[in-house]
Amino acid sequence: MRRLQLIMLVGLASLVSLAGPRSTAWAGPRAYIVQRGDTLWELAEDNGCTIEQLRKANKLDVDDPIIVGNQLDLSACSGGSAQASTAGRRYVVVAGDSLSSIARKHGTTVAELRSLNDIKGNLIKLGQQLRVPGQAKRTVRLLVGQSRGRPGHGWLYQPSQLPQSSAYYRRRIERTWAAAHVIDHTVNAVADARAAFPKLHRLAIGDLSDKDGGSLSGHHSHQSGRDIDVGLYYRKVPAGYPSEFVVATKDNFDAAATWALLVSFVRTAGRDGGVEKVFLDYELQGWLYAAARKDGWSKAKLRDVFQYPDGPYAAHGIVRHEPKHDDHIHVRFTCTPDDDGCK
């Protein structure tokens, strides 16, 4: 047995230099040893192919599981991330937009926007969808059975973990577990904010849930993998940030960038696995309300988003006042469809 382990270690050591996701698990040029927690979806995303291509290459039926320790053939994959796309991302034109203002938001040029969208002049229309440079959005996984019970009395089963990223800082690694759709919506929201403001600093990410869910110190909720605490963006990175949350002030708060983050979350409301509620200090709601108005949102439309300006106890809006939430945004997501164990 020891001899077999030694042979396996030597074989793996010779492959350390191979590039690609999860490199320590590679067993050959296009072979991968299944690790605990792996899913076909994540392997397909990481390696630039589809779940169907992986199933076909490995002769897996739809209901066949992947087994820890088994080898998968990844020859059907391109080797790159499936999230990258030469088609770029989509941007919807709002009131006040011009090609030059959109180019500034996305760190590109008017000429590149014209090329990507086959535009000859400068005319764009309200509501028009434009392709802008950047990565395509992450596909949101709607998995049944991960989030169980309620946010204030629940647990997690085979959860997903928020991946490491240069775009954000995970303050407590052991509390970065959640249902898959929470992870995917969060990654997309951060990407949206950085697409609009390419020079943004790293964002602080606070608690999601423990790996098994359940009671989490410092919180009444965060038990079933549907809650996440997200930091704010600032004009200048405050001392201690992003390893700690920092209270926003009128002088240091970057309302426009934080609105770009928040609106990405808000736009998922009403969709499968989308946002249910957002908890935020009322004064910060006002600052973000002003940023949203500058972004072209009408007062009528913003009534569905904020309690502001009708007071912290107004009975409308996705974003609700919560004390001690002036240094972060608490986002709560709905259950996935047909998930009877999630409440």
Q: How confident is the model at residue 82 (pLDDT cuts 50, 70, 90)?
A: very low
The whole-chain average pLDDT of the chain stands at 84
pTM, two decimals, is 0.66
Q: Answer yes or no: are the C-beta atoms of 16 and 22 closer than 8 Å.
A: no
Q: Give the tens place of pLDDT for each residue, 84-101.
A: 333 456 778 888 889 988
CA angle 272, 64, 12 (to 5 degrees): 105
Q: How far apart are the two ends of the chain, measured CA to CA in Å?
A: 48
What is the structure's pLDDT at 78?
57
Q: Is the pLDDT of residue 338 over 70?
A: yes
> For residue 41, what pLDDT band results from cuts at 50, 70 and 90?
low
pLDDT in tens, 211-240: 999 999 999 999 999 999 999 999 999 999
Residue 115 has pLDDT above 60, yes or no: yes
- Give the pLDDT score at 139: 86
Q: Please report the pLDDT score of residue 60 as a whole number.
A: 87
Tell me the two tokens of residue 258: 């934080």
Print burial letters for 244-263: b (CB count within 10 Å at least 16), e (below 16): ebbebeeebbbbbbbbbbbb
Cβ atoms 116, 85 nearer than 8 A: no
Domains of the chain with bracketed CATH: 2-73 (3.10.350.10), 89-132 (3.10.350.10), 147-333 (3.30.1380.10)
Give residue 42's pLDDT. Answer: 65
The answer to whether the CB of 88 falls within 8 A of the CB of 136 is yes
pLDDT digits (tens, 9 = 90+) for 50-73: 777 888 888 888 667 888 888 888
Phi-psi region of 255 (alpha: psi -120 to 50; beta: other; left: phi over 0): alpha
CA 314 vs. chain centroid, Å, equals: 29
User: For residue 243, what pLDDT is reported?
Assistant: 97
Name residues whose C-beta falls within 8 Å of residue 186's C-beta, 6 or more positions apart in sequence.
Answer: 162, 205, 228, 230, 331
**Is-contact 255 291, C-beta < 8 A?**
yes
Phi, psi of 107 (to 5 degrees): 60, 40
Cβ(115)–Cβ(159) below 8 Å? no
- pLDDT at 37 exceeding the cut of 70: no
Work out the pLDDT band at 318, boundaries 50, 70, 90: very high
Q: Can you give the pLDDT at residue 4? A: 37
Q: What pLDDT digit, counting tens, does each position of 197-210 carry?
A: 888 999 999 999 99
What stretches of the chain show up as alpha helix (H) in DSSP?
2-13, 40-47, 51-58, 99-105, 110-117, 180-196, 255-266, 282-294, 299-302
H/E element, 73:
strand 71-73
Name the band, by pLDDT with cuts 50, 70 and 90, for residue 28: very low
The three-state secondary structure class of 303 is: coil
Q: What is the pLDDT of residue 87?
A: 43
**What does the alpha-carbon distance between residue 275 and residue 182 come to, in Å, rounded to a whole number?**
9
